[in-house]
Amino acid sequence: MGRLTIKDVARAAGVHPATASRALNPLLPGRISAGTTERVARAAAELGYVADPVGRSLRTQRSGTVGVLVPDLLNPFYPPVLRGVQEVLRGHGFEALIASTDNDPGRAGALLDVFRGRRCEGYVIASASRRDDAVGRLIAEGVPVVLVNRLTEAAAPSVTSDDARGIGQAVRHLAELGHTRIGHLAGPSGISVTRAREAAWRAGLRAAGLTPERSWVVRAGQYTASAGERACGTLLDRGEVTAILAGNDMIAVGCYAAFAARGLSCPEDVSLVGINNMPLAEWLRPSLTTVAIDQEELGARAARLLLARLADPAARVGDVALPTELVVRRSTGPVRP
Amino acid sequence: MGRLTIKDVARAAGVHPATASRALNPLLPGRISAGTTERVARAAAELGYVADPVGRSLRTQRSGTVGVLVPDLLNPFYPPVLRGVQEVLRGHGFEALIASTDNDPGRAGALLDVFRGRRCEGYVIASASRRDDAVGRLIAEGVPVVLVNRLTEAAAPSVTSDDARGIGQAVRHLAELGHTRIGHLAGPSGISVTRAREAAWRAGLRAAGLTPERSWVVRAGQYTASAGERACGTLLDRGEVTAILAGNDMIAVGCYAAFAARGLSCPEDVSLVGINNMPLAEWLRPSLTTVAIDQEELGARAARLLLARLADPAARVGDVALPTELVVRRSTGPVRP
DNA sequence: TTGAAAGCGCTAACAT
DNA sequence: ATGTTAGCGCTTTCAA
């Protein structure tokens, strides 16, 4: 089964290979007669010809490949994002290379080198820290980059969630349940969403007529369940808050463990709100009240932004902020009298 | 910033491009003098040269690319598998293209066509059903394929888990806790692991001196939490069993919801055992007793098998069965007196 | 051991 | 509108 080349198609259609190539690539300069186009298309279809991307890439200097970097593939938040990215990319003939830094910013450089080696045309970066050398360099070089969820000091088109809205709803929801001391388990500093969420929490409290206290915030070193468990333990042991806004759902997952370890029941003793509405959030016990973000849409929009820049490098593609919405489940309840 | 080519390296080292190419590819026929090799290597390093995979692929007819197909990227079982696959592949200069069928066997064909179009050299298939046309065709064509976790009627090298051992331990564990009526929530028929696990459950009961009843098995249509919840509901409503072996951890996740809906507490009223020990299994409440499979190793071994076949298409690479081990957590307890 | 030359499959520039 | 030619970057004959 020797590979089928464009020569085979050309021969079958009785034309020159270059003509066949043009006939199969619709919008090229120097159009082809309808009849020829038709014959070539038919021949290609009958033979089952698929253009070799390697030969094409070598000639066009475009790989049809995009690098996607996520911070933690084991965090259920990201698979849906990848799904959105891939769905859009495949629809446009692009393919994604995927890598995870596994929450180690130091690995980004090496992984981006792999992508570069593969001649990726552009990048979707969901793993950026605010001052991220590797990503900053990429942006400085003028390589098409779209940031997802996390921004860098270097500016690039981005898709984020409008956390302020959902977090505001979350705090109001808790306040309406009678909570006046609402803690926050922030993610690692150095990541843009961490700041944004903490600021939104602060603003939300003020809007509800409450005064955020310094001691109500504990910083989890990572957006992981175990970091969340530790941070939550610290916060609980201070004994001040009756409700907690976790920096994301994984931190919230860790909270359940911290509650159990202290014999606290949720929501009777403590109310808990997460952020992300990751796929398993509704299956936790109690099911998790959380600020929902459309993860797949996040990825899809990022892919579209990137495709726009790829199609026209001069295009000024903007930023997108997706709305967030509180989803009330069973992890929040009235404050203990 | 024009891309760096081998010509640049050759010029810097004062040799012919062909010589430079040979110097950089260690084990080629026609060896190069140590001195030249040295100079070329130094020049390449100083310039930061990385061979263009496109040019190389065109010449060698090898893409350095492998297609990986999983059934459900949203199932936390698979990300670690992918991690294992990627780790090994990258270590050997290969890159993975990843796709998920999203539990729809019908999508496999189209996704494999995408892979084929990208000239993947081989495939890691974790999504196969027992009679899987698309995968069967691949195998019949002699394309290097390694199956993970799920076997097809067509034979190909595979990496699976030795579920029998772990499931045997699980049933014994439950029996020792006094359970005599132990149900099973099987996965979708048509997938090899489903059969293997059901058979192991049956064998485990017999080994414990118990007789498996037909009515103790309910089949979940998918390996998902919602399918698990439905199936578990059916089983519970029959009111016969005091313990449940779920077909995998996602089905077990659904069980927690079914328990809650019926006011049953776990493990006081029902004991539950999952299979996989997916990340998050330990974070569920109660934490899930489960038959652990080393997911990352599953992926890593599959990648190694595939690399062996790619390096030598005639190589007879065998099958691997990884050991499983029961991990006892808090979802299992003594039967109610 | 190294150089010269050819060619992988494709498409863009040029020629007709 | 179509054919001709050339060349993308690399490796692998073949020759020296």
CATH dotted code for B6-60: 1.10.260
Q: How many angstroms separate the CA atoms of B215 and A170, rounded? A: 45
Q: How many angstroms separate the CA atoms of A224 and A220, rounded? A: 8
Q: How many angstroms separate the CA atoms of A257 and A249, rounded? A: 13
A80 reaches B (C-beta below 8 A): yes
Q: Which residues of A touch B86 (CB under 8 A)?
A: 99
pLDDT at residue A27 in the model: 67
Number of H helices, E strands in chain B: 12, 12
Q: What's the whole-number average pLDDT of chain B? A: 95
**Class of the CATH domain delimited by B65-161+295-323:** alpha beta
* Closest nucleotide to A30: CA versus each C1': D1
| In the block, residue with structure tokens 């070539």 | A40
CA atoms within 13 A on the CB side of A309: 24
Q: Which of B69, B74, B87, B330 to mutate to test the interface with A (most CBs of A within 10 A)?
A: B74
Q: In which residue ranges of chain A is CATH 3.40.50.2300 found?
A: 65-161+295-323, 163-293
B15-22 CB contacts, 8 Å cutoff, 24+ apart? B15/B39, B15/B40, B20/B44
Spatial distance from the CA of A265 to the C1' of C8 (Å): 67
Q: Is A318 helix (H, G, I), strand (E, B) or coil?
A: coil
Q: How many angstroms separate the CA atoms of B183 and A300, rounded? A: 42
B328 reaches A (C-beta below 8 A): no
Q: How many angstroms separate the CA atoms of B180 and A64, rounded? A: 58
Q: Which residues of B touch A3 (CB under 8 A)?
A: 61
Contact A285 B256 (CB under 8 A): yes
Cβ distance A216 to A184 under 8 Å?
A: yes
Contact B283 A119 (CB under 8 A): no
Spatial distance from the CA of A44 to the C1' of C16 (Å): 27
pLDDT at residue B29 in the model: 57
CA A298 to chain CA mean position, Å: 6
Residue B188 has pLDDT above 70, yes or no: yes
Q: Is B230 helix (H, G, I), strand (E, B) or coil?
A: helix
CA B328 to chain CA mean position, Å: 23
Which of these CATH numbers, 3.30.70.240, 1.20.1290.10, 3.40.50.2300, 2.40.40.20, describes A163-293? 3.40.50.2300
Spatial distance from the CA of A37 to the C1' of C15 (Å): 22
Binned at pLDDT 50, 70 and 90, residue B1 comes out as very low
Q: Which residues of B touch A99 (CB under 8 A)?
A: 86
Q: Which two tokens stand for residue B184?
A: 């099973």
Binned at pLDDT 50, 70 and 90, residue B35 comes out as confident
A87 reaches B (C-beta below 8 A): no
Provide the H-helix boundaries in A101-224.
108-117, 133-140, 163-176, 192-207
pLDDT digits (tens, 9 = 90+) for B126-139: 999 999 999 999 99
Shortest CA distance to B156 belongs to which of B297, B276, B302?
A: B302
Nearest CA in chain A to B50: A117
* Closest nucleotide to A13: CA versus each C1': D2
**CB-contacted nucleotides of strand D (7 Å):** 1-15
B4 reaches A (C-beta below 8 A): no
pLDDT at residue A34 in the model: 83
For helices B78-91 and B295-311, the axis angle rounded to 10 degrees is 40
Q: Which of A74, A83, A222, A288 to mutate to test the interface with B (most CBs of B within 10 A)?
A: A74
Nearest CA in chain B to A52: B117
Spatial distance from the CA of A114 to the C1' of C6 (Å): 31
10-residue mean pLDDT profile of chain A (337 residues): values are 82 91 75 85 91 92 96 98 98 96 95 95 96 95 95 96 97 98 97 97 97 98 97 98 98 98 97 98 97 98 96 89 98 93
DSSP secondary structure letter of residue B116: H
pLDDT at residue B207 in the model: 97
Cβ distance B42 to B23 under 8 Å?
A: no
Q: Is A33 helix (H, G, I), strand (E, B) or coil?
A: coil
Spatial distance from the CA of B3 to the C1' of D11 (Å): 19
Q: In which residue ranges of chain A is CATH 1.10.260 found?
A: 6-60
Q: How many angstroms separate the CA atoms of B190 and B223, rounded? A: 12
Q: How many angstroms separate the CA atoms of A175 and A239, rounded? A: 18
Return residues 142-201 of B near A (CB < 8 Å): none
Contact A83 B97 (CB under 8 A): no
Nearest CA in chain B to A53: B118
Q: Which residues of A touch B113 (CB under 8 A)?
A: 50
Nearest CA in chain B to A66: B97
Cβ distance B235 to B241 under 8 Å?
A: yes
Footprint of strand D on the protein (CB under 7 A): A 15-19, 22, 30-33, 35-36, 58-59, 61; B 3, 5-7, 17-18, 21-22, 24-25, 28, 30, 51-52, 54-56, 58-60
Nearest CA in chain A to B73: A79
Contact B50 A114 (CB under 8 A): no
- Report strand pairing: A289-292 vs A325-327: antiparallel
